Amino acid sequence: MSTGDAWRPRLASRARLKFDPIAKQEMLLFPEAALALNETGAAIVRLCDGARSIDEIVEQLSRKFRSADRDALMREVVDFIATIRARGLLQ
Protein backbone atom coordinates (compact mmCIF):
# COMPACT_ATOMS: atom_id res chain seq x y z
CA MET A 1 0.00 0.00 0.00
CA SER A 2 1.35 3.40 -0.94
CA THR A 3 1.63 6.04 1.73
CA GLY A 4 1.66 8.87 -0.78
CA ASP A 5 -1.09 10.96 -2.27
CA ALA A 6 -2.41 8.37 -4.72
CA TRP A 7 -4.97 6.48 -2.61
CA ARG A 8 -7.64 8.35 -0.71
CA PRO A 9 -9.29 5.71 1.50
CA ARG A 10 -12.95 5.82 2.38
CA LEU A 11 -15.29 3.46 4.14
CA ALA A 12 -16.84 0.80 1.99
CA SER A 13 -20.58 1.13 1.49
CA ARG A 14 -21.16 -1.93 3.70
CA ALA A 15 -19.37 -0.36 6.70
CA ARG A 16 -20.40 2.46 8.98
CA LEU A 17 -19.06 4.18 12.06
CA LYS A 18 -21.46 4.41 15.00
CA PHE A 19 -21.11 5.46 18.63
CA ASP A 20 -22.37 2.81 21.05
CA PRO A 21 -23.80 4.69 24.05
CA ILE A 22 -23.80 1.56 26.23
CA ALA A 23 -20.15 0.67 25.61
CA LYS A 24 -19.33 4.40 25.34
CA GLN A 25 -17.09 3.85 22.35
CA GLU A 26 -17.08 4.06 18.57
CA MET A 27 -17.88 0.88 16.68
CA LEU A 28 -17.16 0.07 13.06
CA LEU A 29 -20.20 -1.91 11.95
CA PHE A 30 -20.29 -4.22 8.94
CA PRO A 31 -22.59 -7.07 7.91
CA GLU A 32 -20.83 -9.98 9.57
CA ALA A 33 -19.51 -8.28 12.72
CA ALA A 34 -18.56 -5.13 14.56
CA LEU A 35 -15.16 -3.80 15.54
CA ALA A 36 -14.75 -1.75 18.73
CA LEU A 37 -12.43 1.19 18.11
CA ASN A 38 -10.21 3.08 20.49
CA GLU A 39 -9.95 6.87 20.17
CA THR A 40 -7.16 6.71 17.59
CA GLY A 41 -8.90 4.06 15.49
CA ALA A 42 -12.13 6.05 15.46
CA ALA A 43 -10.23 9.21 14.47
CA ILE A 44 -8.57 7.36 11.58
CA VAL A 45 -11.89 5.96 10.33
CA ARG A 46 -13.53 9.40 10.51
CA LEU A 47 -10.78 10.76 8.26
CA CYS A 48 -11.22 7.97 5.68
CA ASP A 49 -13.76 9.99 3.72
CA GLY A 50 -12.32 9.60 0.24
CA ALA A 51 -11.03 13.18 0.26
CA ARG A 52 -7.77 12.70 2.18
CA SER A 53 -4.61 10.78 1.32
CA ILE A 54 -2.78 8.72 3.93
CA ASP A 55 -0.30 11.59 4.35
CA GLU A 56 -3.17 14.03 4.93
CA ILE A 57 -4.77 11.67 7.46
CA VAL A 58 -1.48 11.42 9.37
CA GLU A 59 -1.07 15.21 9.27
CA GLN A 60 -4.57 15.73 10.73
CA LEU A 61 -3.94 13.15 13.45
CA SER A 62 -0.56 14.58 14.38
CA ARG A 63 -2.25 17.95 14.93
CA LYS A 64 -5.06 16.39 16.94
CA PHE A 65 -2.92 14.14 19.11
CA ARG A 66 0.19 16.36 19.11
CA SER A 67 2.26 13.32 18.24
CA ALA A 68 5.99 13.96 18.59
CA ASP A 69 6.89 10.98 16.39
CA ARG A 70 5.21 11.39 13.00
CA ASP A 71 6.93 8.25 11.65
CA ALA A 72 5.43 6.11 14.43
CA LEU A 73 2.01 7.65 13.76
CA MET A 74 2.41 6.95 10.02
CA ARG A 75 3.19 3.28 10.78
CA GLU A 76 0.18 3.03 13.10
CA VAL A 77 -2.16 4.57 10.51
CA VAL A 78 -0.83 2.41 7.67
CA ASP A 79 -1.09 -0.77 9.78
CA PHE A 80 -4.61 0.05 10.96
CA ILE A 81 -5.81 0.97 7.47
CA ALA A 82 -4.27 -2.21 6.06
CA THR A 83 -6.12 -4.26 8.69
CA ILE A 84 -9.55 -2.79 7.99
CA ARG A 85 -8.87 -2.74 4.24
CA ALA A 86 -8.12 -6.48 4.38
CA ARG A 87 -11.59 -6.96 5.88
CA GLY A 88 -13.07 -5.15 2.90
CA LEU A 89 -14.06 -2.10 4.94
CA LEU A 90 -12.21 0.47 2.83
CA GLN A 91 -12.27 1.23 -0.84
pLDDT tens-digit readout, 29-49: 999 889 999 988 999 999 999
4: in domain: no
54: in domain: yes
Question: In CATH, what number is assigned to the domain containing residue 58?
Answer: 1.10.10.1150
73: in domain: yes
Task: Domain count for the chain, please give it.
Answer: 1
Q: Is residue 26 predicted with pLDDT exceeding 90?
A: yes
Determine the structural domain holding residue 43 and report its residue range.
16-86
Global pTM reads 0.84
91: in domain: no
Of the pLDDT bands very low, low, confident and very high (cuts 50, 70, 90), residue 4 is low
Which class for 57: exposed (0-12), middle (13-18), buried (19 or more C-beta within 10 A)?
Answer: buried
Single-letter amino acid, residue 48? C
8: in domain: no
Of the pLDDT bands very low, low, confident and very high (cuts 50, 70, 90), residue 2 is very low
Q: Report how far apart, in Å, the C-alpha atoms of 77 and of each of 21, 64, 65, 81, 82 are.
A: 26, 14, 13, 6, 8
45: in domain: yes
Compute the radius of gyration of the chain from its Cα atoms. 13
59: in domain: yes
Helix (H) or strand (E) holding 33: strand 33-36
